[in-house]
Each structure stands twice: as C-alpha cells, then as structure tokens.
Amino acid sequence: MGFLDRLVGRQPQPAEEDASAAAQQQQQQQQQPHGGTSTSGEVLRDIAPAAGGGFPGGAAARLYDPYEGISTAVGGRKAAFQLPDGPEFVFQEEAAARRRGWGENLQFYTGLGYLGGGATGFALGGYKFLAQGPTEPALSSAKLRANRLINMSGSLGRRFACASAILGLYFASFESYVYHAADGRVPDGACTAAAGFLTAALFRSPRGPKSASVAGLVGAAATAGLHAARQKWPSL
C-alpha cells in the first residue's frame, strides 16, 4: 500500500496483504542467525501412504539425514528423508511376486548352466592334461603342448557347456510349469524336486527307463539341495 493510500484512508487489498506478509517472512528468514535451528526433525519426503498402508511390499521405513554431521555448517537444519529398508516397486504385482517369471527363469538357468558347465569342463580338461605322463620327445615342444591343452580343455568344455545348458533349459521349463499347475497348493520344495526329477529323467531317457528313473532320483535330490540353498540365497 502506497503513501497516498494511507493518507486517504484506503483499506489494503488481500493481495497486497499477502505480498506484505511474504516480504516480512522473507526478511525474518534473512535476519535469522546462521547457527540457529529452524525445524528439528523435519521429514522432507514421506512416500508412505497417509492411510497407514506402509511402503510397497511391506518394507519398513527408516530416516536418512543427508546433512548428518554437518548440520551446524549448513545452518543447523536437521532434515531427513523417509526411505524404505527393502526394495521399492512401481506396481503392486511386482511386489507380490515370489519368484522370477518363466522367461526370466529360462534365461537365468540356461545361461548359468552353459557358463558353469563350460568352466567345469575346461578345468577338467586341464586337469586331465596335467595328469597325463610325459610325452615323446618329438612332441614335447611348447607349441604342441599348448595345442593339446587347448584341444582337450575345449572339447570337454563344449560338451559340459551344452549338456548343462540343456539341463538348465529343461529345469526352468518344468519348474515354471509345475509351479503354475500347483498354484500354491503344493509346497515350493516339492515343486522344485518334481521339476528336478522330470529334468533328469528326460535327459537320460534315451538310455532306457531304468537309467531315466535313477537319474530322476538324483535330479530330485540335487534340486532339493537347490531349494535349501534358496533359503539363504533367494536369487538362485
């Protein structure tokens, strides 16, 4: 409000009152001492729903203060972010998922089987080469020994890699199907063991029903160990 308005007795307008109040508040903030505290324990970001539903997936909340230890240097303002302890998901369906999808499962076990089998076969080929006795003097040059080592390790590595990748493909397919068919009515350990039995039995089926049955029992025992390992490492 101007000086002439005060002389004629004009009442201040609401917009002018708001502007005046904002200017006074800004002036008070500028005059506040540097070391004073304005708001203690202020939460800058509260991503939890106001209705008390918590974070997605039921994750617990924790406070994170980015100015911890230097609050006096930045004006004594103690501010905190409310963050979840667990992972956040955009969609509730992702938070409710207990395992990977069938496509992710297929890629994971097939790739893991190929890499793991190839590394195992390459290592066994190197051990087999080193376990052999000395060769003839005519074949004792460094180039020939290196060539034999590469050929032997590569041959076993390819065989192990392909076999393990096929086992991973079978297991991922059977496990996804058994989980889908059970629909939560059967324990997860039983579904995993059933998938292991079917995987090993199908892999050894060309050698006859007896060999397939024995291999199926071995596969069920191996996948039972996998289910036990998942209790400690859920990403398996």
Residue 108 lies in a domain: yes
Residue 2 has a pLDDT of: 53
Same domain, 141 and 203: yes
Same domain, 113 and 220: yes
In a structure prediction context, what are the per-residue pLDDT tens digits for the chain, which is 236 residues long? 555 555 555 555 555 555 566 566 656 555 544 444 444 444 444 444 443 445 554 555 677 777 777 766 666 555 567 777 777 777 776 666 667 788 999 999 999 999 999 999 999 999 998 888 666 666 667 888 888 889 999 999 999 999 999 999 999 999 999 999 998 899 989 999 999 999 999 999 999 999 999 999 999 999 999 999 988 888 88
Residue 130 has a pLDDT of: 86
Residue 11 lies in a domain: no
pTM assigned to the model: 0.61
Residue 26 lies in a domain: no
Same domain, 112 and 226: yes
* Residue 31 backbone dihedrals phi, psi, to 5 degrees: -85, -5
Same domain, 130 and 225: yes
Same domain, 121 and 221: yes
| Structural domain count of the chain | 2
Residue 173 lies in a domain: yes
Q: For residue 180, what are the domain limits?
A: 100-230
Same domain, 46 and 147: no
For the chain, the first-to-last Cα distance in angstroms comes to 72
Same domain, 104 and 126: yes
Residue 65 has a pLDDT of: 73
